[in-house]
């Protein structure tokens, strides 16, 4: 187990180097002039293009340039993001908490409703509840999140006016950047509670509803499926028959006995899905104009903001690899039959 974790951690730098080098290699397809022009904002300064190329060494050997980027990155300097108008490191620090917040709320929704629907579906096998849950699950797999997101916006923002896009309202923006609001963790949901400002808390939470519901659809469909089959398997086992024979109530048999065991694969799946959500946040945050890291990445990609793209990919790769490792460890913790080696 210890060896496994160590080996995976040693592999982390290899993977990170691979990803960043691959992307850096791609940026070299752009001519030095094109890359230099990213540093220039005022069109009147275009004459100084050659100066910029010299200053940043954009004509150097690719490996030399990559080494320079890597050296700076190790010191925490990821360059300046033109699209976000701030240093990349600062942008990541500003946007990441909002994305983690969204992912946490989403995974809570996924686990809660996934386990519930899956359980009901298994207990009422082949009845209408089951058919409905299975239809939901097949449909959820096939509905692209950008279609669902737009439909929800149309209904709940356009028609009903319940929720608005964005990360928070103007009121919250004024409070948060007002001065008397202390930022303890960077997570607005937690900070607002610590500041005892419940209006901000509700505001942030209500802005999370639509993105979270949209983001959860794919994972939710998977969760229902896994919970259903896991529950069906447990319900067929001997100890459940024993429990029934003892005269326990059906509720106790299904939820206290079978349910507890059936939920194990769901928990491990949830930890994997939590990491997978990162990919989806890119689309969801763009649709709902939610100020998170995914939207930052999309805008950087659209505007060909090289420093932004590199920083974003680096961060996603680190999160993804560490997250996968964590879910592997969790896997062994929940199910002792599995050994990592």
Nearest distance from C-beta of residue 138 to another protein, angstroms: 7
The 302-321 site mask, x for binding another protein (CB under 8 A), equals x-x----x--xx--xx--xx
Single out the residue of 301, 326, 330, 340 in contact with another protein (rule: CB under 8 A). Answer: 301
Nearer to another protein, 244 or 276 (CB): 276
Please state, in angstroms and rounded to a whole number, the distance separating the CA atoms of residues 159 and 102: 24
- Candidates 230, 219, 226; CA nearest to 259 is 230
Asked whether the beta carbons of 115 and 223 are under 8 A apart, the reply is yes
Task: Specify the residue, 118 or 280, whose C-beta has the smaller distance to another protein.
Answer: 280
- Site membership for another protein, residue 122 (CB under 8 A): no
Q: Do the beta carbons of residue 303 and residue 310 sit within 8 Å?
A: no
For 151, the token pair is 């439909």
Q: Which stretch binds another protein (CB under 8 A): 186-194, 227-235, 242-250, 276-284?
A: 276-284
Would you count residue 236 as binding another protein (CB under 8 A)?
no
Cα of 170 vs its chain's centroid, Å: 25
3-state SS assignment for residue 87? strand
DSSP assigned state of 48: G
Total residues contacting another protein (rule CB under 8 A)? Answer: 48
* Residues 132-171 close enough to bind another protein by CB under 8 A: 138-139, 141-144, 146-147, 150-151, 153-155, 157-159
Measured from the CB of residue 87, what is the shortest distance to another protein in angstroms? 20
End-to-end CA distance of the chain: 6
Among 16-24, 167-175, 241-249, 325-333, the segment contacting another protein (CB under 8 A): 16-24
Q: How far is the CB of 177 from another protein (least distance, A)?
A: 28
Is position 15 an interface residue for another protein (rule: CB under 8 A)?
yes
Cβ proximity to another protein, 40 vs 304, nearer residue: 304
User: Does the protein bind another protein through residue 280 (CB under 8 A)?
Assistant: yes
Among 1, 6, 9, 14, binds another protein (CB under 8 A): 14
CA distance 134 to 115: 13
Q: Determine the Cα–Cα distance for residues 224 and 139; give it in Å rounded to an integer.
A: 12
SS3 call for 76: coil
Q: Decide if 137 contacts 229 (C-beta within 8 A).
A: no
Distinct helix (H) and strand (E) counts, the chain: 15, 2
Interface with another protein (CB under 8 A), residue from 200, 253, 278, 307: 278
Minimum distance of another protein from residue 45's CB (angstroms) = 25
Does residue 298 bind another protein (CB under 8 A)? Answer: yes
CA distance 315 to 99: 13
Kindly state the tokens that stand for 176: 């948060």
Distance between CA atoms of 267 and 115, rounded to whole angstroms? 10
What number of other Cβ atoms are within 10 A of residue 202's Cβ?
A: 12
Q: How far is the CB of 313 from another protein (least distance, A)?
A: 6
Q: Which residue has the tokens 């106790």?
A: 252
Which is closer to another protein, CB of 204 or CB of 222?
Answer: 222
- Both tokens of 105, joined, read 């709320």
Binding site for another protein (CB under 8 A): 11, 14-16, 18-19, 22-23, 26-27, 29-30, 138-139, 141-144, 146-147, 150-151, 153-155, 157-159, 276, 278-280, 282-283, 286-287, 297-298, 301-302, 304, 309, 312-313, 316-317, 320-321
């Amino acid at each position: 187990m210890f060896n496994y974790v160590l080996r995976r951690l040693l592999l982390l730098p290899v993977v990170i180097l691979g990803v960043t080098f691959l992307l850096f290699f791609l940026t070299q397809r752009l001519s030095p002039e094109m890359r230099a022009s990213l540093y220039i904002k005022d069109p009147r300064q275009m004459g100084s293009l050659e100066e910029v190329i010299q200053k940043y060494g954009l004509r150097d050997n690719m490996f030399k340039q990559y080494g320079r980027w890597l050296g700076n990155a190790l010191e925490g300097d990821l360059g300046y993001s033109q699209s976000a108008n701030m240093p990349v490191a600062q942008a990541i620090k500003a946007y990441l908490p909002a994305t983690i917040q969204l992912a946490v709320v989403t995974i809570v929704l996924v686990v809660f409703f996934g386990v519930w629907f899956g359980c009901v579906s298994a207990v009422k096998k082949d009845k209408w509840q089951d058919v409905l849950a299975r239809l939901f699950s097949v449909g959820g797999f096939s509905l692209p999140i950008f279609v669902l997101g737009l439909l929800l916006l149309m209904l709940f923002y356009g028609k009903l006016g319940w929720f608005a896009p964005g990360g928070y309202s103007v009121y919250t923006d004024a409070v948060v950047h007002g001065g008397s609001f202390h930022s303890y963790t960077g997570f607005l949901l937690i900070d607002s509670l610590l500041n005892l400002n419940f209006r901000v808390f509700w505001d942030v939470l209500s802005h999370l509803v639509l993105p979270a519901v949209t983001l959860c659809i794919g994972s939710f469909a998977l969760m229902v499926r896994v919970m259903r089959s896991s529950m069906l398997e447990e319900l067929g086992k001997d100890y459940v028959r024993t429990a029934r024979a003892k005269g326990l109530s059906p509720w106790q048999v299904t939820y206290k006995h079978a349910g507890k065991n059936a939920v194990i694969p769901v928990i491990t799946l949830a930890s994997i899905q939590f990491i997978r959500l990162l990919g989806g946040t890119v689309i969801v945050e763009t649709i709902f104009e939610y100020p998170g890291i995914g939207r930052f990445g999309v805008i950087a990609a659209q505007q060909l903001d090289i420093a932004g793209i590199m920083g974003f990919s680096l961060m996603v790769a680190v999160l993804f690899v560490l997250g996968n490792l964590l879910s592997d460890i969790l896997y062994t913790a929940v199910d002792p039959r599995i050994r990592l080696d």
